[in-house]
Amino acid sequence: MHRITVVGGGFAGLTAAITAAEAGAKVTVYEAHHTLGGRARTAEGPYRTNEGPHALYSGGPHWTWLRQRDLIGPPAPIPPLEAARLRLRHRGALRRTPPFSMLKLLRRTAQQAPVDVDFLSWASGVAGEEGARAAAHYSAVALFHHDPGGLSAAFVQERLRRATKVPPEAHCPRGGWGGVVDRMAARAWNMGVRMETLSRVDTLPTGTPVVVATSLDAARRLLRDDSLTWPSGRTVLVDLAVRARRGDAFAVSDLDAPGWLERFTARDRSLAPAGEQLIQGQIPIGPRESKADGVARAEELLDLAFEGWRERVTWRREAVANGRTGAVDLPGTSWRDRPAVDRGDGVYLAGDQVAAPGVLSEVSFNSALTAVSLALGRKELDLKHA
């Protein structure tokens, strides 16, 4: 029987553990935190928040994989009346529709963007600079980066198309991501996976193939490999509970600068006590900007879309996520240029900043499957990434 060690019990680590166990391997998972889930944890208590706005995109392979194993759980669909309350800030005012020039970039027949040109330059040639900037800023909902227009055009176009697809690809599990983590952990446990929490690994285990399913920073320290770096985003996370009021927006996308706010209780009333609404937002900030700068921009959006929110606040939390929002690809690079999954000597990487395709959590999923297939030497485990 194959034996595999997995370091990290987040989404990538649990995916790797389940996949390896299904293939007949004996698996041990080591997790430094007292609970599993990593960035997919959902806070306990009256306000069930994720670490920043989270969504599962149904167009990716992980959606099918999770559905086949009944791991997603009950969905939290957007009621039609709430969906109609999506607002866009453009030229300082709230609007219901994007600028016409931006629509040129949303056509499914639009040409494929190049890898080696920045998005703003390429998109300006298609839709003009105003439409290009609006599209770049809208794509920040799936990027968490302060300058989407400066990233690879192909990279941003893929996320823009996925984020604007109709019907929407983005779905939220009822009760938060914690339910998905609990179901994945239960499946792993029932398949005989040994899971050790509060077990920080400081030295690479020996004797078995090892899947390192941690952040890239943690993997760099563990493997003592300074080459394990890749650009990511830096974003201010704002969590807010307010007393309910009719007429509040469902979500607000800032087309004047990158930023997104969403009232998650519009989908799922279980996330906050009765009579309260839970708003989560992310405002990307540049290297020289502070948390206060991001919070100020979030409050500008709140002033526009949530009348009287300051007097209605019942709970509030703010944080900065630095390098914790997935890989971003600069012009001339693609996912293939990121740190490789196979590190040699039976060590494999999995996570959202390594060489695997996909959007958001799809990268963690695809890299985990690739890592396990390489560790077991069984190519049939690997998904095709077409």
Closest CA to 350 of 370, 337, 374, 367: 367
Distance of CA 207 to the CA centre of its chain: 33
Domain assignments of the chain as residue spans, ordered by start: 3-69+173-230+332-381, 95-170, 232-327
For the chain, counts of helices (H) and of strands (E): 11, 15
Q: CB of 150 within 8 A of CB of 119?
A: yes
Strand partners, 237: 282, 319
pLDDT, one tens digit per residue, over 319-340 is 999 988 999 999 999 999 999 9
> What does the pLDDT average to over 51-72?
90
pLDDT, one tens digit per residue, over 249-303 is 999 999 999 999 999 999 999 999 999 999 999 999 999 999 999 999 999 999 9
Count Cβ atoms within 10 A of the Cβ of residue 79 and give its class: 0-12 exposed, 13-18 middle, 19 or more buried. Answer: exposed
Q: CB of 156 within 8 A of CB of 139?
A: yes
* Most confidently predicted of 28-37, 41-50, 54-63, 73-82: 28-37
The pLDDT of residue 386 is 31
The residue count of the chain comes to 386
Beta strand spans in the chain (E)? 3-7, 26-30, 56-57, 86-90, 93-95, 170-171, 194-196, 210-212, 232-243, 251-254, 260-263, 276-284, 313-327, 342-344, 347-349
Q: CB of 352 within 8 A of CB of 11?
A: no
pLDDT, one tens digit per residue, over 33-58 is 999 999 889 998 899 998 877 888 99
Q: Do domains 3-69+173-230+332-381 and 232-327 have the same CATH topology?
A: no
Measured CA to CA, the distance from residue 299 to residue 209 in angstroms comes to: 48
The pLDDT of residue 384 is 40
CATH superfamily membership of 3-69+173-230+332-381 = FAD/NAD(P)-binding domain (3.50.50.60)
Whether the predicted pLDDT of 60 surpasses 90: no
Q: Indicate if the alpha-carbon torsion angle 297, 303, 308, 309 is positive or negative.
A: negative
The pLDDT of residue 1 is 61
Lowest mean pLDDT among 120-134, 247-261, 320-334, 368-382: 368-382
Lowest mean pLDDT among 132-136, 163-167, 346-350: 163-167
The pLDDT of residue 54 is 82
Residues 6+ apart with CB under 8 A from 280: 49, 50, 52, 53, 237, 238, 239, 240, 261, 262, 264
Task: Classify strands 347-349 and 210-212 as parallel, antiparallel or unpaired.
Answer: parallel
> What does the pLDDT average to over 2-18?
97
* Exposure b/e, 227-254, CB count within 10 A at least 16 = b: ebebebbbbbbbbbbbeeeeebbbbbbb
349-to-8, 143, 222 alpha-carbon distances in Å: 11, 22, 11
Measured CA to CA, the distance from residue 43 to residue 178 in angstroms comes to: 8
Per cent of the chain over pLDDT 70 is 97
The pLDDT of residue 378 is 60
The pLDDT of residue 111 is 84
Whether the predicted pLDDT of 147 surpasses 50: yes
Measured CA to CA, the distance from residue 14 to residue 26 in angstroms comes to: 14
pTM over 0.85: yes
Measured CA to CA, the distance from residue 386 to residue 295 in angstroms comes to: 39
23-to-6, 16, 374 alpha-carbon distances in Å: 15, 11, 12
Q: Could you tell me the fold of the domain covering 232-327?
A: Polyamine Oxidase; Chain A, domain 2 (3.90.660)
Measured CA to CA, the distance from residue 181 to residue 197 in angstroms comes to: 14
The pLDDT of residue 380 is 46
Residue type, 6: V
pLDDT, one tens digit per residue, over 179-220 is 999 999 999 999 999 999 999 999 998 899 999 999 999 999
Measured CA to CA, the distance from residue 98 to residue 163 in angstroms comes to: 14
pLDDT, one tens digit per residue, over 216-242 is 999 999 999 999 999 999 999 999 999
